[in-house]
Every structure is written in C-alpha cells, then in structure tokens.
C-alpha cells in the first residue's frame, strides 16, 4: 500500500473499522480483492494458535512418520495413534488443510510435500515439541504480559540463569541436542552471508556442542577452531567432536563469560544465538570481553534472529520477541540496538547483513579498530 500522510492514514483507519465501509468494500471489484486478502490475512492470525496445536498433535502422534511409507486409511491411523476414528479423521483433514498431508480420492491420507519437508528439516520436530512450554505460558497472554515472572519456558532452559556447573547434565544434554540440530540452518545461512576467507583462527563463544564450528571446519579445512562454553555443555561437545574429523584443529575452553576471561589468540570471534539470551548489561560486558580478546583489526560475527526495529517483522517481532520474553533473561534486539551496544564496547566498521530467512538468522559483523 502506498505511504499516506498521517492525517489521511488516520482517516482511512477509522473508515476501515466501520461496518458500512466493509459492506461497501465487498461490492467494488478492486477494493473487494484487497478486502478479501486483508480478511484472509486476519483470519490466519486468528487461527494461528489452532494451526500450531494441530501441528503439535501431528508431530506428537508421529503421524508424519507413520505416513512416510505411503498413505493409510483413517481407522488404521486411529488405531496406531490411539485416537477415536472420528477425531482422527478431523485431525488428518486439518493436516491436509495445512498442506502437510494429502487426502487421496479413496479417503486415505498420505504425506504432502509440506509434511515431507518438515521431516527433512533437522531438529524441527524437536523444536515444535518444546513449544508446549511456550504455549502453556501464553495460555493467558494478558497475565503473561503483566507478570511473566514464572514461565515454563524459563524452566525448560535453565542454563541461561546458571553459572558454570550449576546445570543438570541431563537437562543440558537435551538442550544441547536441540540447539545442535537447529544450528544446521543457522550455520548454512551465516556462512553463505559471511565468507570467512582470510580468518586463521575462529573462537565461537557460547558455541554449544560445536555444531557451528563443525560447519566452519568443513568449509575451511585450514582454520584453527576454538570453542568456549559452560563446562557442563563442553562435556557433551567433547564426545561429539572426538570423531568429527577435525579434533586436531579444535581446542575446547570451558568457562563462563560472566566470570572468566575469554581466551586470546583468535583473529575472529563468533557469537551465534547468544546475545538474545541475555540482558543489555551482560551483553555489553560480553562484547567488551570479546573486544579485549581480539587483536587490532580482529573480526566479530554476530548471528541470530533480529527484530525488524523501525520496520516490524512478522517472524522476529512476534515469535522471537515473545519467545525471548518468556525466557525472561534476554530479548530480541534489532540490528540498530546491537550496533549501539557494539559501539559502546569500542567496535568500529559495523555492518548489518539482513538474513534471506530472517526467522533463521541475520548477521552483524564488526572489527576491533
């Protein structure tokens, strides 16, 4: 829609909210098309939670897996999923409505391309299932907004609160697995946007079990790799990376960036999906520590989903902003906010690279002057 003067825009908004306008709009062909598109978009928002819960049920009941070898009849699926047949029919029909399943002429249901693709995205099913905690927190959204001090999601991810060693290894393993699986797409996009040619040694701070470094290691066979994360997380990384094929160029540095200095010697440092877990003062201290650990001209790469800021973004300003709010400790920042923190920490030559899938990641690079 063309940009309107604020006065005319206010008038248009008041008009659009009247029933008379909507009746008129439905009669005029061109306006009717726009009104229908706006109506459909609005309905998508209204239906969003139900769509998401249908998806949750399909994943939890492993419906997509069950249909991997071919279409099945509703009674058979009902038996396998222990759901009454008439309810299973509704669920499968809903899955087809969402484009995940296909309803065949004989009434059986099979996988559609959408459902098959979902099975192919690494970590996506585990991600979907962990949303149970977020949805529980959002069951009363107004209560959540007024006082979000006790959320299930924060309990799901206790590592962000804990100092090194304060976290249960079992919980850490679950969390690290989820992070490592979902890291594949983040690494793919980050490395596509930011070639690391010329980097001799990369330190990945908060690098989890090393999934990002593994992708870097494969793409840059000469690069030395350093991984810094909480001791309990690096325990998991050690086993994972032992037979990765580049253990000889990888050094693990257990520690907490809240309390310990960062190792020096790398000419580039990456922070992948780290900043949005923490408040501004922790982020500023971390960026100052990164600045201190880099040599003059050293490079920092920040990769995470970012708010659209002045131009609100559908994915990051809804999903990630609410998600990080439920996490309680951090927030989804815009590129401009991260850039301001980088400047305060002493960085120069800061540039923003908007992701081609902003819901996966965007990147900011900066240099120590």
Ligand X SMILES: C[S@@+](CC[C@H](N)C(=O)[O-])C[C@H]1O[C@@H](n2cnc3c(N)ncnc32)[C@H](O)[C@@H]1O
- Residues forming contacts to ligand X in the complex (CB under 6 A) are 159-160, 179, 183, 186, 206-208, 211-212, 229-230, 233, 256-258, 272-274, 277
Give the shortest CB-232-to-ligand X separation in angstroms.
Answer: 8
- Residue among 148 and 206 whose Cβ is closer to ligand X: 206
- Residue among 74 and 230 whose Cβ is closer to ligand X: 230
Give the shortest CB-172-to-ligand X separation in angstroms.
Answer: 8
- Residue among 93 and 244 whose Cβ is closer to ligand X: 244
- Residue among 57 and 173 whose Cβ is closer to ligand X: 173
Give the shortest CB-363-to-ligand X separation in angstroms.
Answer: 12
Return d(Cα 81, Cα 26) in angstroms, integer: 44
- Residue among 64 and 327 whose Cβ is closer to ligand X: 327
When CB distances to ligand X are compared, the closest residue is: 206
Give the shortest CB-360-to-ligand X separation in angstroms.
Answer: 11
Give the shortest CB-98-to-ligand X separation in angstroms.
Answer: 28
Give the shortest CB-64-to-ligand X separation in angstroms.
Answer: 24
- Residue among 176 and 224 whose Cβ is closer to ligand X: 176
- Residue among 35 and 360 whose Cβ is closer to ligand X: 360
């Amino acid at each position: 829609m063309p940009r309107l003067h604020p006065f005319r825009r206010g008038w248009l908004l008041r008009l659009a909210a009247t029933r008379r306008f909507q009746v008129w709009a439905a009669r005029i062909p061109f306006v009717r098309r726009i009104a229908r598109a706006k109506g459909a978009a609005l309905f998508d928002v209204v239906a969003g939670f139900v769509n998401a819960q249908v998806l949750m049920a399909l994943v939890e009941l492993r419906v997509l897996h069950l249909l991997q070898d071919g279409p099945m009849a509703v009674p058979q699926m009902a038996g396998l999923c222990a759901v009454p047949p008439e309810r299973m029919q509704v669920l499968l029909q809903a899955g087809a409505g969402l484009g995940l399943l296909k309803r065949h002429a004989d009434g059986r249901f099979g996988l559609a391309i959408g459902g098959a693709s979902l099975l192919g995205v690494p970590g996506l099913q585990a991600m979907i299932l962990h949303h149970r905690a977020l949805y529980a927190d959002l069951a009363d959204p107004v209560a959540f907004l007024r006082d979000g001090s006790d959320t299930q999601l924060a309990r799901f991810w206790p590592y962000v609160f804990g100092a090194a060693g304060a976290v249960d290894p079992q919980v850490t393993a679950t969390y690290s697995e989820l992070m490592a699986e979902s890291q594949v797409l983040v690494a793919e996009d980050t490395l596509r946007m930011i070639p690391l040619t010329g980097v001799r040694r990369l330190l990945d701070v908060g690098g989890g079990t090393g999934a990002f470094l593994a992708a870097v290691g494969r793409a840059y066979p000469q690069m030395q790799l350093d991984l810094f994360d909480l001791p309990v997380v690096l325990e998991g990384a050690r086993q994972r990376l032992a037979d990765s094929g580049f253990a000889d160029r990888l050094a693990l540095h257990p520690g907490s960036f809240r309390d310990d200095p960062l190792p020096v010697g790398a000419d580039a440092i990456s922070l992948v999906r780290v900043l949005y877990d923490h408040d501004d003062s922790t982020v500023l201290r971390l960026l100052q520590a990164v600045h201190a650990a880099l040599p003059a001209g050293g490079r920092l790469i920040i990769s995470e989903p970012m708010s659209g800021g002045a131009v609100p973004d559908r994915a990051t300003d809804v999903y990630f902003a609410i998600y990080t709010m439920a996490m309680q400790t951090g927030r989804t920042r815009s590129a401009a906010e991260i850039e301001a923190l980088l400047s305060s920490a002493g960085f120069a030559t800061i540039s923003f690279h908007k992701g081609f899938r902003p819901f996966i990641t965007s990147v900011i690079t900066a240099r120590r002057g």
